[in-house]
A = this chain, B = another copy of it.
Amino acid sequence: MWQDLAHRTREDLEKAGIRLFLKHRALSIYNSEKTVEIIDELERKAFFAYDRLVLATGAAPRRLGIPGIDLPGVFFLRWMDDGLKIKNHLASKRPQKIILIGGGYIGMEMAEAMLHRRLQVEVVERSQLLLKNVYPGFSRRIQTELESHGASIHTDFTVEKIELKGEKLHVIGSKGRPIRADMVLIAVGCLPQTELAASAGIRTGINGAIKVTRRMETNIPGIYAAGDCAETWNRVLNRYTYQPLGTVAHKQGRAAGENAAGGDKTFAGTLGTQSVKIMNLVYARTGLLAEEAVRAGYDPVSSRIETYDHKSYYPGASSLQLMITADKKTRRLLGAQVLGFVGAEISKRLDILATALYHQMAVDELEDLDLSYTPPLSSPWDPVQTAAQAWAQEH
């Protein structure tokens, strides 16, 4: 049941003392009166009064500014409704070939989902490589993984229009031949929804996201914002970014909510941690790549190792790759990436490095961590420590 995807039921929320106004839309904020004008599904308007206000208006899919995105069989990916429409379309039209526009995290997950349905998958990506901000060697390995499961990948392909010719959708790019398919899914990122905030004169910044303090307060005292509609403090970059992720939204929501209720909670900031499963592979990252670190004023150097997830004499060992980026002068860890197989504890291994990064550890100190070891699951030096030792030796 699609309802199972919700974290909590209506009853859960109401039991917690929250009054829910579903099918109500907020039209405008009148900050001097401390009211919000709302409209319900019968088009009746009303004013709700507030002491403090939290904006959690989220984001909407970035729409390609090209002809054809409204054709039948073309879908964006964001809300539950999108998922239900796609599911209906798959059931009723039985498309055989799917084009995914956008080779980011969501694109990868959709590629996997469609391959599991035994559909033909073609991924179209504007840049040279899948997955932005991933070490190119890892990105190429991920591409190979998708291809080995039957997907076709078209990189360096900028979509100019989508056309319907007969029964087929044609995705037409600046070069190369058009690609034909029965269905097109577009996942090229999202943009914050801030029309409501704008009505109150709330300031926006990066990508149009709402500017907030570390306490998640906007420029208007008493009005907070959190989640995909707001900017995100990055602990490693020491500046605001736009990072519409669930992990970030949860943390920001807590801070905004606690502060709106009279508490005092500072959002600790993101490290840019992300993970994704692509067929048999898991990729995870935290912090900065070398290029990002240079732009942030660091002097980064990187090391990469390939090793086994656990002692190779114990059955089932699989190879994994780790990349460590750190500042040459301070030797402080700046970022890490791990690529390996499902079942090899890749994502939580990366989280050891994310926890180290949170504490601004020097790479040399990583070997001092007392990490767990048993032959089926690790080595006496965990691979994250072997990677740190390699970095320390090389630099």
Contacts and interface: CB of A to CB of B under 8 A. Distances in A.
Interface stretch (A20-28, A162-170, A268-276): A268-276
Contact of A276 (B365, B371, B374): B374
A372 interface: yes
A4 interface: yes
Nearest to A284: B372
Nearest to A383: B348
A51 interface: no
A351 interface: yes
B374 A277 contact: yes
Given A4-B313, A275-B377, A377-B275, A351 B367 contact: no
Contact of A347 (B343, B354, B378): B378
Interface in A251-265: 251, 254
Interface in A355-395: 355-356, 358-359, 365, 367-374, 376-378, 380-382
A283 to B, nearest CB: 9
A5 interface: yes
B352 A351 contact: yes
A372 B355 contact: no
B275 A372 contact: yes
Contacts of A368: 251, 268, 358
A286 to B, nearest CB: 7
B371 A351 contact: yes
A116 to B, nearest CB: 10
A277 B311 CA distance: 14
Contact of A286 (B245, B249, B250, B370): B370
A250 B358 contact: no
Interface in A318-361: 342-343, 345, 347-352, 354-356, 358-359
A336 to B, nearest CB: 11
Contacts of A142: none
Contacts of A188: none
Contacts of A369: 351, 354-355, 358
A282 interface: yes
Identify which of A109, A277, A350, A377 gathers the most chain B CB atoms within 10 Å of its CB: A377
A205 to B, nearest CB: 21
Contacts of A127: none
Contacts of A250: 380-381
A370 B347 contact: no
B4 A373 contact: no
A297 interface: no
A286 B274 CA distance: 25
A144 interface: no
A347 B367 contact: no
A246 interface: yes
A373 B313 contact: no
A88 interface: no
A250 B376 CA distance: 18
A96 interface: no
Contacts of A372: 247, 273-275, 284, 286, 347-348, 350-351, 354
Interface of A: 4-5, 105, 109, 235, 245-251, 254, 268-277, 282, 284, 286, 313, 342-343, 345, 347-352, 354-356, 358-359, 365, 367-374, 376-378, 380-382
7 contacts: A246-B373, A248-B370, A269-B370, A276-B374, A348-B348, A351-B371, A358-B369
- Going nearest first, the 4 A-B pairs with the smallest beta carbon separation are A268-B368, A275-B372, A348-B348, A345-B348
